[in-house]
Amino acid sequence: MSEPQHVLVIGAGIVGVNVGLALQKQGFAVTLADRGEPGQGTSFGNAGAIAATECAPISMPGTLRHVPGWLRDPNGPLSLRLSYLPYLLPWLVRFVAAGRRGRVEKIATELAALLHCAWDDYDPLIRDAKLQDAVFRDGALAVYRSNQGRRAADYSIDLRRRNGVTLTDVSRDQIHEIEPDLAPIFACGVLEEDWGRVLDPFKIVTGLYQLFLDRGGKFQTAEITDFVYRDGRPHAAINRGGDNISFDKVVICCGAWSKHLAARLGNKVPLDTERGYNTTVPYHGVTLNHMVISADDSIVLTPMEMGIRVGGAVELAGLKAAPNYDRAKALFAKGQQVLPGLRDEGGTQWMGFRPSMPDSKPVISSSPRHDNAFFAFGHGHLGLTMAATTGRLLADLVAGNPATLDLTPYRINRF
C-alpha cells in the first residue's frame, strides 16, 4: 500500500486542531505547525462560547450611524487607534458595504448554514476526547435595561429566528428566576436556547490536541514565513528557524496571521483583527448559571472553571500595537454593574486577536491558484463555535469529496 499523503496544517489553535482531526479521519498523515504551543493564541482566553445562535453578522443596518458615538465614549464597545486607520480603511469600506440590508440577509443565511452543524460536528469529538464534563449546552441569557433597548434589537432577533434559531423572550421576573444574582436593572431579556459554553477554552483545544496526537498526529514548533515551489506548486514551508517542512498539501489556518501566508500563495485577502479584552476573577461567592450577554453594555459574562470571565467589545489596532488593558478595566466595571457581587481580587486580564473578515464569514476554501493549498481562517467571534464544522468541510475539500454544503460563500477570492 502507498504511504498516506502528508498535509501540513499551519496553525494549532482550535480551528487548526479540528482541521487536523478531520484530515486524519480522511486518512491523511498530518503535521500541525505553530510558532507557539498549541492553543496558546486566541484559543487560550476567549469567552468560551459555542454561539450556535449568532448568525447575524457584525455589520448590520444602522451600525454606521452608531460608530461616532461609540468612538467618543472611552468605555464604549468600539475603539480605533487613529495611527492604524490608513491600514484599516480597505477593510472598513468592505465592512460598511456588508451592512446593507440585502447583504445582511444573505450573510445571515450563509452563517446559519455553518452554525446549524456546530453541535452535530462537535459532539463526537467531545466524546472521543472525554471532554463531556467541560462543555454545557445550557443556553445564554441576553438582557436589556429597557423595553426600548429590546425593541432596538428586533431586526437582529427576527433575522435569527427566520434562520432557524430558537429565541424566547423572558420578563423581568423570569430573569431573576434564571439568574438571581444579576442586578435588578433589567426590564426584559431573550433566552438563546441552542447556545453553549465551555468551562475553559484552553482545556478544550488541548484536549482535542491530545486526541490528535493519540491518533498519530505530529506537531512542530515553526514560524512559517514563505514557501518553496517545485513545478509551480508549493511543496515545502520555510521555517524562520531554518529548516523547511515538506508536504503534499498545505492548509493555512493561523487566525489573524493567515493574511501574510495567503498572500505568499497568491491570494490577497481583506483579513484584519478585532482585538478583544477580558478579565477573569474568582467567584467570591457570586453565582452565575449561564452565559449572560448584557446587550446595552456589549459585554459577555461567562461562568468558567477558574471563575467568571467578563469581556467583549472591539479594538481596531492591528497585530503590532501594545495592549491597552484600560479596555479590560472598563469592561469589568460594566460587568460589576450587571453582576454586583463581582470583585477584582485575584483577577487576570487578557487580550486576543479575533481574525475577522469584513462580511463576518470565515474563509473555508481551496486555492484558486494551487491545487494543493487550502485555507481555513477569519472566523471572527465564532472560531470556537465553527471549528469542528470547518474541520469537516475543509477535510472534504482536501480529500476531493463532494461538499455537504455549498462552500461558494466562503471562498477566499469572494471580494
pLDDT at 8 over 70: yes
Decide: pTM greater than 0.85: yes
Q: Are 398 and 249 in contact (CB under 8 A)?
A: yes
Residue 24 lies inside a defined structural domain of this protein:
yes
Residue 395 lies inside a defined structural domain of this protein:
yes
For residue 217, the tally of other CB atoms under 10 A from its CB is 21
Average pLDDT over residues 177-181: 97
Nearest to 49 by CA among 138, 109, 163, 113: 138
Total number of domains in the chain: 1
Residue 9 lies inside a defined structural domain of this protein:
yes
For residue 123, the tally of other CB atoms under 10 A from its CB is 14
Range of the domain at 56: 1-61+99-135+195-269+358-415
Split at pLDDT 50, 70, 90, the class of 1 is low
Average pLDDT over residues 213-227: 97
Nearest to 357 by CA among 377, 374, 371: 377
What are the pLDDT digits (tens) for 113-130?
Answer: 999 999 999 999 999 999
Residue 227 lies inside a defined structural domain of this protein:
yes
Q: Which helix (H) or strand (E) holds 376?
A: strand 373-377
Cell numbers for 248: 503534499
Task: Specify the CATH number for the domain of residue 390.
Answer: 3.50.50.60
pLDDT at 2 over 80: no
Cell numbers for 67: 460608530
Q: What are phi and psi of 375, to 5 degrees?
A: -140, 140
Where would I find the beta strands (DSSP E) of 183-322? Answer: 188-192, 196-198, 218-221, 224-230, 233-239, 244-246, 249-252, 272-281, 291-294, 299-304, 307-316
Residue 3 lies inside a defined structural domain of this protein:
yes
Residue 45 lies inside a defined structural domain of this protein:
yes
Residue 225 lies inside a defined structural domain of this protein:
yes
What are the pLDDT digits (tens) for 239-274?
Answer: 998 789 999 999 999 999 999 999 999 999 999 999
Residue 169 lies inside a defined structural domain of this protein:
no
